[in-house]
């Protein structure tokens, strides 16, 4: 009797079904709604509305500002921390890394609620500093995602490269600028990706910290709750394109990195 | 020519207490090719790192042209390094890698371009300027690493096992090229390797190191032909090592025969005898100084490697003539091919295994010793031995060295009284006492015993060893 044998194609069937149901089908539905009007006719009105409405453009700008500032703050706190941790000879450094990563294991709403209480004690009324509070909340939420990839890159960095730089006449700071920083760039890129993209849409932080301004996530939600499927889908699609563009750009850096690793195997 | 660099009483102790380099003294002549040779962990790389400036000596000073540089950071030293794994910058292309040091010196662009071009010519990689490091083979990366170092025109070039990652053919080629590069550039080379052949091929001067100490410094010929001690003889080239005793004027006894040798060492001294495998001549049994049986014969391309058992001694011989295993042969060694070195041990050292009941195997007897005293951090718990990390110690994997000072052993007529029995195979009067060599019964082990009384050659005696005089240490 011939043994029952699955070939590669057959093994792929469940994944194909999954992709069709949960990725492809929703995407088609979104595209369909985005480019039709209420009567079901094909129309570019939604696209036009997105780029002409001060409401949507304003939200996009606000979302991007929050994402940019959050990313910068995370980078400024995260890189020195990752660097110090990667370089320290402390025996306890894994514990410290763990302490920064541990909040990721605690329920997100719980953490933000705790933060809200602390900020209320400090500020009195949260409504006075909505932008600042949002940045604090986002930074608190996403900092571990920034630290981890940078820490991993820095700890795997070949220390003899820094020694080579010193040997060739570079001082400590020159070595950091010319060798350490460029070589930790892949870690920075993936950290930025991990923080920038979600902070553009994570409206729960704003909601919970009483920031009533919309960002992209909450804007889409508001369209859908008003039964405007067409307008909401178009916003979702535009956001998707922005994220795709961003991913493609940063993907380039990662390809460089792959080259490098492949080269080292030769 | 004068000395470019001098290392004076250099000691390096790491934070965990490990003494990597001990009292290291060396003078390097300007323009010479010096090699640090030794097994891994012997301190050669640490010494190199101290010269480069990556490590600071705990004690002692490093003089470059007479000035102490031991506290100077690496970027302030006119010394460049070729790293073991090349350490080329993966984010820069070939030209930027090589120009790294020159750009830091803020040289004009034209000059940088000229110098880089010349460096690439020296390493034979013209036209590789724009290539990415990742696209280069191991050998090419090696050459770029050399170019990156020499382009700065350092006073000393340090090379840390630079050929270790290359295949054999490539390595041979690079050895010759490095040598000719050294002749051409006139830069002082300090080279680190564990490959004795590499060291012998390239160096003007070899520094043989072991356990952080210099064992011998000399030209390749000196080191090969006149090894100073058993370690050097064993590490450089293949060699047969025997325990011997000087038995007269230029006469040495080993392998059960009295050989004529050329070393003038005082009668009665314990010596280590080295005979190179290519210096043993195989002949008919009747013509040999000693006889033996061929144990194995292996073809090695250039020669056969033949192992002969003579009594309990194993002798390795390299010859172009094949012998069959089982064949009876005679062996001859010319007097000037027998190299005797005064044995360093004034203490009898015997290696011992540990039995599963934690007693020590001592020749035929057993010794009780406190293993927790011998193995650092070890503790007994419920009759099981644990190490400092609370893991059970597998005693079958450890060996204990038993040391007994010559004068602590007492000889007796009563064979039952002694811990061991043996026969006197050599004796010599040393002014106020006699020094005996006793061969322990049923073992190939000779013990040196000092005694004030006169015994006769071939006397069968018992050896009394007071337990408190036996010292134990863990073999690494």
Which structural domain range is residue A61 located in? 57-258
In B, residues 113-142, which contact A (CB 8 Å cutoff)?
Answer: 132-138
Task: Give the pLDDT band (50/70/90) at residue B8.
Answer: very high
The verdict on ipTM greater than 0.85 is no
Q: Across the interface, do B87 and A164 touch by the CB < 8 Å criterion?
A: yes
- Domain presence at residue A34: no
pLDDT tens for B209-267 read: 988 999 999 999 999 888 888 788 888 888 888 878 888 888 998 888 889 998 888 88
Instruction: Specify the number of domains making up chain A.
Output: 1
pLDDT tens for A130-160 read: 899 999 999 999 999 999 999 999 999 999 9
- Domain presence at residue A157: yes
Where does CATH 2.40.50.140 sit in chain B? 240-342, 347-474
Q: Which of B75, B134, B152 sits opposite A259 (nearest CB)?
A: B134
Q: Is the pTM of this model over 0.90?
A: no
Fold held by B240-342 = OB fold (Dihydrolipoamide Acetyltransferase, E2P) (2.40.50)
- Domain presence at residue A10: no
Fold held by B3-225 = Rossmann fold (3.40.50)
**Mean pLDDT in chain B?**
87
B298 backbone dihedrals φ, ψ, rounded to 5°: -125, 135
- How far does the CA of residue A108 sit from the closest CA of chain B (Å)? 38
Alpha-carbon dihedral B171, B174, B179, B182, rounded to 10 degrees: -130
Q: Please report residues of A whose CB lies closer than 8 A to that of B90.
A: 161, 183, 260, 263-264
Task: Give the pLDDT band (50/70/90) at residue B396.
Answer: confident
Mutate to test the interface with B, among A91, A153, A165, A168 (most CBs of B within 10 A): A168
Q: Give the lowest-confidence range in A44-58, A163-177, A250-264.
A: A250-264
Q: Which of B75, B84, B88 sits opposite A170 (nearest CB)?
A: B75
Percent of chain A with pLDDT over 70: 93
- Domain presence at residue A35: no
SS3 A75: helix
pLDDT, average across residues B109-117: 94
- Domain presence at residue A137: yes
Q: Is B9 on the interface with A (CB under 8 A)?
A: no
B98, B85 in Cβ contact below 8 A? Answer: no
DSSP B251-290: EEEETTEEEE-S----TT-EEEEEE-GGGEEEE-GGG-SE
| Angle (CA) B447 B452 B457, round 5° | 55
> Is the model's pLDDT at B190 over the cut of 90?
yes
DSSP 8-class letter at B467: G
DSSP 8-class letter at B58: S
- Domain presence at residue A44: no
Q: Please report residues of B whose CB lies closer than 8 A to that of A183.
A: 89-91
Q: Across the interface, do B83 and A160 touch by the CB < 8 Å criterion?
A: yes
Where does CATH 3.40.50.300 sit in chain B? 3-225
DSSP 8-class letter at B391: P
What's the order of all strands across the beta sheet hosting B257-260?
Answer: B257-260, B251-254, B240-248, B270-275, B339-342
Residue A237 has a pLDDT of 93
A77, A83 in Cβ contact below 8 A? Answer: no
B296 backbone dihedrals φ, ψ, rounded to 5°: -155, 155
Fold held by B347-474 = OB fold (Dihydrolipoamide Acetyltransferase, E2P) (2.40.50)
The Cα B398–Cα B413 span in angstroms is 35
Give bridge partners of residue B362 from the DSSP assignment.
B365
Q: Which of B83, B104, B148 sits opposite A170 (nearest CB)?
A: B104
Residue A264 has a pLDDT of 33
């Amino acid at each position: 009797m011939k043994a029952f044998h699955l070939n590669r194609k057959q093994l792929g069937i469940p994944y194909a079904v999954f992709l069709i149901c949960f990725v492809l089908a929703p995407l088609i539905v979104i595209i369909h709604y985005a480019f039709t009007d209420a009567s079901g006719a094909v129309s570019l009105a939604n696209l036009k509305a997105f780029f002409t409405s001060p409401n949507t453009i304003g939200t996009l700008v606000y979302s991007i500002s929050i994402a940019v500032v959050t990313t910068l703050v995370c980078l400024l706190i995260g890189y020195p921390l990752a660097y110090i941790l990667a370089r320290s000879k402390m025996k306890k450094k894994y514990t410290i890394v763990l302490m920064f990563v541990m909040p990721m294991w605690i329920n997100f709403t719980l953490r933000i609620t705790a933060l809200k209480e602390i900020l209320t004690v400090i500020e009195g009324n949260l409504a006075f500093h909505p932008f600042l509070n949002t940045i604090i909340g986002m930074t608190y939420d996403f900092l571990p995602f920034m630290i981890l990839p940078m820490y991993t890159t820095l700890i795997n960095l070949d220390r003899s490269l820094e020694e080579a730089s010193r040997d060739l006449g570079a001082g400590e700071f020159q070595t950091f600028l010319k060798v350490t920083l460029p070589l930790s760039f892949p870690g920075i890129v993936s950290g930025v990706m991990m923080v920038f993209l979600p902070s553009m849409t994570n409206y729960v932080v704003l909601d919970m910290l009483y920031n009533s301004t919309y960002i992209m996530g909450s804007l889409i939600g508001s369209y859908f709750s008003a039964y405007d499927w067409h307008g909401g889908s178009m916003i979702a699609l535009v956001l998707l394109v922005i994220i795709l563009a961003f991913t493609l750009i940063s993907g380039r850096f990662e390809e460089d990195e792959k080259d490098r690793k492949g080269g080292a195997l030769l | 020519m004068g000395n470019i660099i001098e290392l004076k009483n250099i000691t390096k102790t790491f934070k965990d207490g490990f003494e990597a380099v001990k009292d290291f003294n060396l003078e390097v002549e300007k323009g010479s090719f010096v090699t640090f040779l030794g097994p891994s962990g012997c301190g050669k790389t640490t010494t190199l790192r101290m010269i480069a400036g990556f490590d600071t000596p705990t004690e002692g000073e490093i003089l470059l042209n007479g000035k102490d540089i031991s506290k100077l950071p690496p970027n302030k030293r006119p010394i460049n390094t070729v790293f073991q794994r090349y350490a080329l910058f993966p984010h820069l292309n070939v030209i930027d890698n090589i120009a790294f040091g020159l750009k830091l010196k803020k040289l004009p662009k034209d000059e940088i371009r000229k110098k880089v071009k010349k460096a690439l010519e020296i390493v034979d990689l013209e036209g590789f300027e724009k290539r990415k490091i990742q696209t280069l083979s191991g050998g090419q990366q090696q050459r770029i690493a050399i170019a990156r170092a020499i382009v700065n025109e350092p006073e000393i070039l340090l090379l840390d096992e630079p050929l270790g990652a290359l295949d054999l053919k490539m390595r041979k080629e690079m050895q010759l090229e490095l040598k000719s590069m050294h002749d051409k550039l006139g830069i002082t080379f300090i080279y680190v390797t564990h490959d004795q052949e590499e060291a012998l091929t390239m160096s003007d001067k070899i520094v043989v190191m072991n356990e952080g100490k210099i064992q011998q410094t000399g030209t390749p010929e000196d080191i090969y032909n006149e090894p100073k001690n058993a370690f050097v003889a064993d590490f450089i080239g293949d060699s047969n090592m025997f325990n011997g005793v000087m038995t007269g004027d230029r006469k040495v006894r080993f392998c059960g025969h009295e050989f004529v040798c050329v070393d003038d060492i005082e009668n009665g001294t314990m010596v280590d005898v080295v005979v190179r495998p290519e210096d043993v001549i195989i002949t008919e049994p009747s013509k040999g100084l000693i006889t033996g049986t061929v144990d194995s014969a292996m073809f090695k391309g250039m020669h056969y490697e033949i192992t002969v058992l003579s009594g309990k001694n194993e002798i390795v011989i390299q010859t172009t003539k094949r012998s069959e295993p089982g064949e009876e042969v005679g062996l001859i060694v010319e007097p000037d091919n027998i190299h005797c070195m005064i044995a360093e041990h004034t203490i009898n050292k015997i290696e011992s295994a540990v039995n599963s009941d934690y007693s020590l195997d001592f020749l035929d007897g057993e010794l009780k010793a406190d293993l927790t005293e011998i193995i650092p951090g070890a503790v007994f718990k419920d009759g099981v031995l644990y190490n400092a990390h609370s893991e059970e110690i597998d005693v079958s994997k450890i060996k204990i060295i038993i040391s007994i000072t010559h004068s602590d052993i007492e000889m007796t007529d009563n064979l039952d009284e002694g811990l061991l029995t043996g026969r006197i195979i050599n004796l010599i009067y040393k002014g106020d006492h006699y020094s005996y060599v006793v061969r322990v019964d049923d073992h190939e082990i000779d013990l040196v015993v000092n005694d004030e009384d006169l015994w006769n050659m071939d006397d069968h005696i018992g050896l009394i060893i007071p337990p408190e005089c036996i010292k134990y240490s863990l073999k690494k």
